[in-house]
């Protein structure tokens, strides 16, 4: 017996035409392919269990303080219909931190789109069959898969909210990446009224910063178990704040889902908004202001100039002075092995990781951070 969502997907016009052999495949072969993809996409969100699992999740996140900002904007959006959350992507922790901030504030939990590679093993089963994570083949060029994915998302939005990362995978360089439009286009084709809620997540310290910064550009998909093992090396003593900042809902009225230009323009508008929402934290400020060797006073002065520049752009500042930024950032950056303080001067110890944090502000600055140290 087919479930309601599968029947709805199979009855959509674009799927029905494919099943009729419009693309060359026989009806039986076409149906088997589509039903196979639908089984892969299937996710179950058990809300009561999801709430109970906050406790084991907190064992993973006990050293990450979750701070939600502008929650009222989300509450307003959810009262008027379905919501599609769109966020930047910094860490594997995003899959836990952002939905839990939503749940912490009594809002209905969205289905979260995650790369299929992170949904293997026991933790993957937990995310998929309890928290409601939907596995996505991000780099697939299979036209049938992409058609099925779009149809599935469109029908899913009739009953549940959706949360996804338009950058695709995490940013390995630290910069805000250009958006991909596949899931956004799918959401726009839903037969229900939706609103886009932009969100930005920022950490004082990203737990996998050394892993990401060393590679900078993602060259291949590694097994998730290997990534977790690498992250575990840097988890001992790890503490951080995680700021999740929501923006005012963005209307999709007038956006033609069949126009590539229209969808791309919306995607860039969303990401520009996400960039403004991104919390500017002391570690990123100090990383951007840092020189190969510098006194504390000089660093405070450079950080103050940077804060003034960011304030003029309307950035979401987490500190108001260079002195405050340096006081808050030096200890965690030194503990993380990014800088070293000796003989009254601060020196760069790990240039790659320092630049990783500095680049997180590049979208707000005219001078790229890669030229500062």
What CATH number is given to the structural domain containing 120?
A: 3.40.1130.10
**Is the domain of 18 the same as that of 65?**
no
C-alpha 244/C-alpha 241 separation (Å) is 10
Which has the closest alpha carbon to 270: 155, 165, 133, 150?
A: 165
Q: Residue 126 — very low, low, confident or very high, per pLDDT cuts 50/70/90?
A: low
Give the pLDDT of residue 232: 72
**Is the domain of 258 the same as that of 270?**
yes
**Is the domain of 184 the same as that of 257?**
yes
**Is the domain of 150 the same as that of 230?**
yes
Q: Quick one: tokens of 173?
A: 């360089």
**Which domain covers residue 338, as residue numbers?**
280-371
**Is the domain of 122 the same as that of 200?**
yes
CATH of the domain at 297: 1.10.10
Q: Report the chain's mean pLDDT, rounded to a whole number.
A: 86
Residue with the larger pLDDT of the pair 197 and 230: 197
C-alpha 52/C-alpha 56 separation (Å) is 8
CB-based burial of residue 307 (10 Å sphere; 0-12 exposed, 13-18 middle, 19+ buried)? Answer: buried
**Is the domain of 292 the same as that of 241?**
no
Q: Residue 55 — very low, low, confident or very high, per pLDDT cuts 50/70/90?
A: low
**Is the domain of 25 the same as that of 74?**
no
Q: What is the per-residue pLDDT across 275-309, written as a single tens digit (0 to 9) for each?
A: 999 999 999 999 999 999 999 999 999 999 999 99
Give φ, ψ of 134 to 5 degrees: -105, 120
Q: Which of 234, 252, 277 is at the close of a domain?
A: 277
Q: Which of 221, 253, 277 is at the close of a domain?
A: 277
**Is the domain of 338 the same as that of 256?**
no
Which has the closest alpha carbon to 286: 227, 334, 243, 214?
A: 334
**Is the domain of 60 the same as that of 135?**
yes
Q: What percent of the chain has pLDDT over 90?
A: 53
* Domains held by the chain: number: 3
**Is the domain of 232 the same as that of 333?**
no
**Is the domain of 87 the same as that of 231?**
yes
């Amino acid at each position: 017996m087919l479930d309601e969502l599968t029947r709805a997907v199979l009855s959509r016009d674009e799927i029905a035409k494919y099943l009729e052999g419009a693309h060359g495949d026989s009806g039986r072969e076409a149906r088997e392919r589509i039903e196979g993809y639908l089984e892969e996409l299937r996710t179950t969100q058990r809300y009561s269990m999801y709430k109970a699992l906050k406790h084991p999740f907190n064992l993973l996140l006990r050293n990450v303080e979750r701070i939600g900002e502008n929650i009222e904007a989300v509450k307003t959006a959810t009262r008027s219909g379905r919501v599609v959350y769109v966020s930047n992507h910094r860490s594997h922790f995003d899959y836990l931190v952002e939905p839990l901030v939503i749940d912490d504030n009594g809002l209905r939990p969205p289905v979260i789109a995650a790369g299929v590679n992170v949904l293997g093993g026991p933790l993957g089963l937990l995310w998929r069959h309890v928290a409601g994570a939907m596995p996505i083949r991000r780099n697939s060029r299979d036209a049938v898969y992409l058609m099925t994915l779009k149809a599935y998302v469109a029908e899913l939005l009739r009953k549940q909210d959706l949360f996804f990362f338009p950058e695709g995978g995490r940013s390995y360089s630290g910069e805000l990446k250009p958006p991909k439009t596949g899931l956004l286009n799918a959401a726009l084709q839903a037969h229900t009224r939706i609103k886009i809620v932009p969100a930005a997540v920022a950490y004082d310290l990203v737990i996998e910063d050394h892993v990401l910064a060393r590679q900078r550009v993602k060259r291949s998909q590694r097994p998730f178990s290997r990534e977790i093992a690498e992250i575990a090396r840097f988890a001992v003593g790890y503490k951080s704040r995680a700021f999740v900042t929501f923006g005012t809902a963005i209307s999709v009225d007038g956006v033609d889902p069949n126009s590539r230009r229209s969808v791309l323009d919306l995607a860039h508008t969303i990401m520009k908004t996400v960039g403004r929402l991104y919390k500017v934290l002391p570690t990123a400020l100090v990383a951007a202001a840092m020189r190969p060797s510098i006194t504390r006073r000089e660093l405070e002065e450079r950080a103050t100039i940077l804060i003034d520049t960011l304030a003029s752009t309307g950035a979401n500042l987490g500190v108001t002075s260079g002195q405050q930024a340096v006081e808050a950032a030096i200890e965690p950056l030194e503990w993380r092995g990014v800088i070293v303080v000796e003989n009254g001067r601060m020196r760069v110890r790990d240039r790659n990781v320092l630049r990783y944090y500095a680049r997180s502000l590049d979208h707000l600055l005219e001078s790229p951070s890669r030229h500062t140290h």
